Amino acid sequence: MARDQICLAPHDPAWADEFEVEARSLTRALAPFAVRFHHIGSTAIPDLLAKPIIDLLGVAPDLDGIDTGALRIEALGYEAMGAFGIEGRRYFRKISASGRRTHHLHVFAEGSSHITRHLAFRDYLRAHPETAARYGALKTRLVTTPNLDWGGYQDGKAAFVQRTEADALDWWHRT
């Protein structure tokens, strides 16, 4: 696969194991900062087509510890990307020697509304397979778009994700 080519794969149960391995490594590296990790993104949703990139949500007591511990994360092969467009986030990405993205790490301070947003979206798609199927169909259509780049892929999903996040948050607060 070419560097940064967008490719979807059928759900692979091994992704949960890959998350666990990576979360353990990060937990050890960031032990002084008491960060907890959750598996988010499409690889965390059974039966959903996904880019084979493991998304991790880190929940930290505060971001000062993450800023202090960034070198520990980078020592595991991650590239620090700063907030990367989302206030209150620290974003890191891991790229393999062949140039393929393998992991995305999104860290927020305890209490951030972004934590709830990510977890609600994940849990909503797990509980509503028909919505997950529509999401998968949209992603399949998008990757067949000629000359699609990461920005275009994200833009193409934006309206669906925003609608689903609103439904997910409503569902989250009712359950």
Cβ–Cβ under 8 Å, residues 78 and 94: yes
How many CB atoms sit inside 10 A of residue 112's CB? Answer: 18
What is the average pLDDT across 134-160?
Answer: 96
Cβ–Cβ under 8 Å, residues 116 and 172: yes
**Of 24, 26, 52, 13, nearest in space to 106 by CA:** 26
Confidence of residue 5 (pLDDT cuts 50, 70, 90): confident
Beta bridge mates, 95: 101
User: Tens digits of per-residue pLDDT, 86-112?
Assistant: 999 999 999 999 999 999 999 999 999
- What percent of the chain is modeled with pLDDT above 90? 95
**Residue given tokens 């393998």 in the structure block:** 102
pLDDT for position 59: 99
pLDDT for position 1: 41
Q: What gap in Å lies between CA 26 and CA 76, rounded to an integer?
A: 8
> Domain extents for the chain?
14-174
Confidence of residue 2 (pLDDT cuts 50, 70, 90): very low
User: Tens digits of per-residue pLDDT, 21-51?
Assistant: 999 999 999 999 999 999 999 999 999 999 9
Cβ–Cβ under 8 Å, residues 40 and 119: yes
pLDDT above 60 for 3? no
**Of 42, 55, 44, nearest in space to 160 by CA:** 42
Q: Which CATH class is domain 14-174?
A: alpha beta
Q: Which amino acid is at 61?
A: P
